[in-house]
Each structure stands twice: as C-alpha cells, then as structure tokens.
Structure 1
C-alpha cells in the first residue's frame, strides 16, 4: 500500500503542467493527470514514469471529474481554453472554463481535498488603472476567458464558505518558456520578432513600442504552483509575475541581442491602445515565500538559443 499522496491535475499534460509534474515527482507525490489531450503531449506524459497516471477525459463532464478525483488529497486545476480562442468561440470557452471550473471545485469540496490550486490569470484585472497591479485592485475582465477566470475565483470562495475548501488562485502574468506552442497569445509576438530577426529583417513594432508585459518564466510558474500546494496560508488570490514591465521595444532589443543580429526595430506609426502590466509581488512573497529566479533577458536568451 503506497503512502504517497496523489495530486489530481487537470490540464496537467499541457505546457505549464509538463513543467510542474517533474517538480511534484521530486517531492514524492503521485500525479493523476486529467486532460482531454487536445493540446497535451501523450509521448511526453508516458516518459514521466510509473507515478504518473493519465486519464484522457474532459472537465466538462462532472461525473468523470468526480470519479477520477477519488483518493486524491490535492488538486491543481489548469484545464482551460486559451484567451484568444475564447473570443473566437465563446460557447466552448464558457463550457470548458466555467462549467469545468465548477465541476472540479464541486468534486474537490465533495472529496474533502486538503488544497486546491487554481491557475487564474492577470487578465482578470483588464486594463489596469495603476502599476504595479495589486490583488485588491478593481477587476475588469474583458473576454470570456478572463470573465471565467474571475468567476472561478468567486466560486472558490463559495466552496470555501460551504465546505471549508482550502484554495489559492494564482494569477499568472505573461508566461513564456520552452515547450510553449508558437500560437500562444503573446508567444506569437516573440516568434514573429525572432523569425524576422533570424532572416536579417528588423522586427516591426506598432506605435512607439510602449505596450508592456510582465514576462514570467514557466520554471518560476511551476515553482509557484508547488509552493501554493503546500503553503500554510490559503484562500486568497496571488499574483505570479516578476514585478517588472518589459516594453515591446525592450523585448525586441533583448531578442535581437539573443539572436546576435545587426538590425534595429522599425516602428510603424499608428495609434495603439497602450497597456502596461507589472505584478505587485508582495503577497506572493508573504503567502508562498515565492520570488522569481529568472529575469526576462536571461530567460528569453536561453529560449532563443535553445531553439
């Protein structure tokens, strides 16, 4: 009879999951991945070893979620439809992101799990009124994806009150790193720039390139998930970012340096809605003991040179 705790991990075969699972195995957990494998890598999962089980199912089916979660003491909920796909198909997005959220949270409450870690998003803030963005700031989600992420946090509060569910919602900022699909929302910007730079062409930036993002490496994201699974404090949303906003113009220069090209960005003079993002990281440090370890220049350079 194994004494290892089992972590139930929805979407665990995806980009972030494949960085988290090895860390869980290092900490002597067993992992039960629950994933419809739409974006999952079956071969990569098979190589993770005997302590990883894959259940090829969909979070939209509450009975399947409930049955598969039996015997698990902790839950990570990462299964979701991406932000840009949510606008192309709001129906599927609401189905997977809203109904899926509820199915996972209700099952976790029924099974009395010790901790549920929810992969939320900085997109719940919408266009921020100030920087850095703090967890108690006003939330103005814009797309079906962002709306579902915010609703998920509210649902966790409901099951906390109703069933004493212990949870942490991690509001991920702009995640990047090895293994990410090239079609991801802002990864496509990185890939577009890199492809042009490698061809000796300058990256083209709309406006003055003042739009910014808080780029956080997937290795640090994975660390935050494991910390949230085991933290003594709970029942709060927590920003996971670097606290540094990197403008699109700065990103272009970082990538040019990484490729080692002799080009300069070109600016396309047009009106753009300038949005900036940077996380207030105080709570992450206080609640999780989390601090990022990979700065954007180092992370982006390793990513480009590793391709």
Structure 2
C-alpha cells in the first residue's frame, strides 16, 4: 500500500516505544524507528520488522544530519529518545547532549520536513515539587535536574518552531510510567523492585518515614494509547498531562504488592524524616484535547506485573 503514512519514532526500541509501535501498526501506519540501540531491544525490533511495515535506523539523535536524512518522507514524528533522570544527575554532559541537542535536532528536522504532527515525550518532572494537587498544565514549572530542565526547554523549543515554521505539536507530560518490559533504574521502579524482591524472599518491605510520598502511577499501555491519540488530535500546540489523576502513596503501593505476591507480612516503617513529595495529574486537558482517560487501575496493573513476572 503506497498510501500508508510513515511515523518516525526516536527511541522506538525502548520501553515505551515498544508499546507504541504495535499500536501504530494497528492504525495502519508504517513505522521508522530511529534508535542508537544502547538500551534498545534488538530481538523485539526484529520481530516487529518482520511485519514489513517497520524499519530500524540504528543512529543517534545527537547527529542532526542523520536525523534530518532519516526523517525524509515521514508524515508524523514521535520523539521519545532521552537519557533517564538518574543518569542526568550522574552525567549532566551526556544528558544535555542527548536531551537538549537531540530535542533540537528532531524538532528542527520536523519543521524542515513540514510534518503533520510532532508528539514529544515530556515529563511531569517539569513541575518540580508541586505547590498543590492535582498538578495542572498551567501551574508554575520548576524543573530540578538536567533531565527535567531539558524537558521543559523541549516544550519551549516546540513553541519556537510552531511560531517560525507552523510546526504542529503536543508535549505529553508523562507521570510515573510502569509496566512490562521496564528497565529497573528509575527511582520508583527500584522502589517496586525492592519491595517485590523482599516479598518474594518472605521478608517485609521497608518503608522510610510513614510512606506518605505518593506518585501517579500510569501503565505503559495507557501511555502508548495517549501517544497514538496525540498524533491525530484536532487540538494541538499545548502540553498535556498523562496520568491517572490518583496519587498512590508508597504505603498503599506496598500493600498492593503484598496482596499481589500473596504474602501475609506487614510493611516495616523505618522512622526517619522524609521529604514528602506527592504527585497527581490534573487529567481534564487530556480528556479535552486527546479524548484520553487511563484504563488500567494501579492495583490491576501492578498485580498483573507481579504475577506475570514483569
């Protein structure tokens, strides 16, 4: 079929990308994955490529010429490639290189090629420590790490190319993504893994403070749905929160995981002063702009993850 539209997806071989690509194929797009394969899953990409509608370009977003060349003929762009939040603090130079320069290379090429829509994976971390819940897209932004700063700057760069070249974009501010296939390096996934490993050894999870810190855990399947919806939404040129709107405390998470593992232990609370941060998305704009609502409840998603081995 010559009339299939092509989606160019950076980081398409990563955790979120590998959930997005099959949904794009279901929507009858051709897919061009652009990924340096540093953390990408070659076996999964090879299986997708066997469909005939997926190709892999093994390259790095830091090279603007490579990005520009590879994007030729694409009608839509999804930019997921980034260095993680933890890595950005241990190596700010690489973080700036990949996240800032990479953002700009992808956005500039998309503007040059006149793509129909660019979807950018931003992050709820652009808010910093929120002053109130739920966190709304128009709240003050206070990004705290090089990663978060690069996500906010990415949104600003999109605004620049919208004004300069009429680029149509949506920045999705992902909250705490979890699900099958996730690497275990993110802070909150390491919390999940720590709890689960102890539970599987018959030990109780240990929680610092009272376990009041909370996150808005959103399943990667829902994240992928939001990305695909953002490609064709009528409204554009805005940041959009992607979360459940529910803040799940660490104490609640421990109890969900205890139930999922089928253990009868009680969490151990380690009394110490903990900076209590809470997270919950205002989800109204996602409904209005994307027609999106999350479908997988935290208890269901976490239980499924534990019972099916993640």
| TM-score relative to the length of structure 1 | 0.99
Supply the distance in 1 between the matched residues of 2:186 and 2:159 (Cα, whole angstroms): 30
1:44 maps to 2:44: yes
CA contact (8 A) 1:200 1:262 kept: no
SS at match of 1:171: strand
Q: CA deviation at 1:184?
A: 2.4
2:100 to 78, 95, 98: 98
How many residues align? The count is 307
Which digits, 9 at most, give the CA deviation of each residue in 1:62-84, with x for residues without a partner? Answer: 00000000000000000000000
- Partners of 1:5 and 1:103 in 2: CA distance: 22
- CA apart distance, 1:120: 0.3
Paired residue for 1:15? 15
C-alpha separation in 2, matches of 1:185 and 1:71: 38
Q: Measure the CA separation in 2 of the matches of 1:58 and 1:182.
A: 23
In the alignment, the residues of structure 2 paired with residue 185 and residue 119 of structure 1 have an alpha-carbon distance, to the nearest angstrom, of 18
Q: Match for residue 87 of structure 2?
A: 85
The C-alpha deviation readout for 1:21-41, integer Å capped at 9, x for no partner, is 000000000000000001100
Gaps of 5+ in 2: none
CA drift of 1:164 comes to 0.1
Q: Tell me how far 1:185 sits from its aligned partner.
A: 2.5
Displacement of 1:2 = 1.3
| Over 3 Å off, 4+ runs | none
The Cα of 1:226 is off from its aligned counterpart by 0.3
If the length of structure 2 is used for normalisation, what is the TM-score? Answer: 0.98
Establish whether residue 25 from structure 1 lines up as the match of residue 20 from structure 2.
Answer: no
Residue 186 of structure 1 and its aligned partner are, at CA, apart by: 1.2
Task: Give the root-mean-square deviation of aligned CA atoms.
Answer: 0.6
Partner of 1:64: 66
- Do the aligned residues in 2 keep the contact of 1:176 with 1:216 (CA within 8 Å)? yes
- Using the alignment, how far apart are the partners of 1:67 and 1:190 within structure 2? 41
> 1: distance between equivalents of 2:2 and 2:187?
41
In structure 1, the partner of 2:132 is 130
1:164 maps to which residue?
Answer: 166
Q: Give the equivalent residue in structure 2 for 1:175.
A: 177
Q: Is the 8 A contact 1:72 1:113 kept in 2?
A: yes
* Separation in structure 2 between the aligned mates of residue 195 and residue 40 of structure 1, nearest angstrom: 25
Q: Which residue of 1 aligns with 2:301?
A: 299
1:147 counterpart residue number:
149
Residue 183 of structure 1 and its aligned partner are, at CA, apart by 2.1
User: Could you say what secondary structure the match of 2:141 adopts?
Assistant: coil
